[in-house]
Amino acid sequence: MLRIESLHTYYGYIHALKGIDITVGAGEIVTLIGSNGAGKTTTLSSIVGLVPSSEGKIFFEDKDITNSAPHKLVWAGISLSPEGREVFPTLTVKENLLLGAYTKHNKASIASSFERVYGLFPRLYERTAQQAGTLSGGEQQMLAIGRALMSQPKLLLLDEPSLGLAPNLVAMIFELIEEINKQGVTILLIEQNANMALSVSDRAYVLETGTIAMHGDAKELAGDARIKEAYLGAH
């Protein structure tokens, strides 16, 4: 579904991505793990066109989407839930979700999106009329994911959904990610919480300073001694 071929991205003189190859098949959950500064967020930003990439190609459903305008990708079926949530703080939960459905004109399809998101996150339904900025961190994360789902994407990009959340909330968010995947959404996940991420994913890539250090089956990677030492905190 998504194919990245030897992608290079620079921030000025800094060579942030040094030719990475990633494929995400339809229906999969694929995780990108790596330490701070490895280039995880840069990869997502390059996919959605927020950061221009200088070399390499990105294909979505066999269409070349390299360096296309960010807003066009939402129409194509890619949706991003950004790092740090970035909900619209003074708008209500409902308005945030309606903005997520910006690419949809059909009232019935917007209504079914609402039902799906409120079904996944009943907490958001309770807070429909509340301003998003007054929600708790976990609720804002739910809203960010819910908002990204409103456009009925084929591919959902999640940037650090567990950032700054309490452990039981993290577990809940990951359960919901699996649930969303079961509803037929392909997911590319970026996580620092490697343990959690590997347990829900089909496959995983390990990024180290702009290159893919390892990739393979998520369960196998979770058992790999080097991964354990570097990311899982095992001794």
Residue 123 found at the interface with another protein (CB under 8 A): no
Total binding residues toward another protein, as defined by CB under 8 A: 38
Measured from the CB of residue 143, what is the shortest distance to another protein in angstroms? Answer: 11
Measured from the CB of residue 21, what is the shortest distance to another protein in angstroms? Answer: 25
Residue 231's CB is within 10 A of a number of other CB atoms, namely 22
* Among 4, 32, 60, 100, contact with another protein (rule: CB under 8 A): 100
Please provide residue 17's backbone torsions phi and psi, each rounded to the nearest 5 degrees.
-120, 125
* Among 35, 68, 92, 192, contact with another protein (rule: CB under 8 A): 92
Write the single-letter amino acid at 44: L
Mark residues 18-57: x for contact with another protein by CB under 8 A, - for none. Answer: ------------------------------x-x-------
Measured from the CB of residue 145, what is the shortest distance to another protein in angstroms? Answer: 13
Residue 124 found at the interface with another protein (CB under 8 A): no
Residue 152 found at the interface with another protein (CB under 8 A): no
DSSP string, 47-95: HHTSS-EEEEEEEETTEE-TT--HHHHHHHTEEEE-TT----TTSBHHH
Site for another protein in 191-220 (CB under 8 A): none
As given in the structure block, the two tokens for residue 19 are 């030719």
Residue 154 found at the interface with another protein (CB under 8 A): no
Please provide residue 174's backbone torsions phi and psi, each rounded to the nearest 5 degrees.
-70, -35
What sections of the chain are H helices per DSSP?
40-48, 70-76, 93-100, 107-120, 122-126, 137-149, 167-182, 194-200, 218-223, 225-227
Spatial distance between the Cα atoms of 213 and 79, rounded to a whole number of angstroms: 26
**Contacting residues toward another protein, per CB under 8 A:** 48, 50, 69-72, 74-75, 79-80, 82, 86-92, 94-95, 98-100, 102-103, 114-115, 118-119, 125, 128-131, 133-134, 147, 151
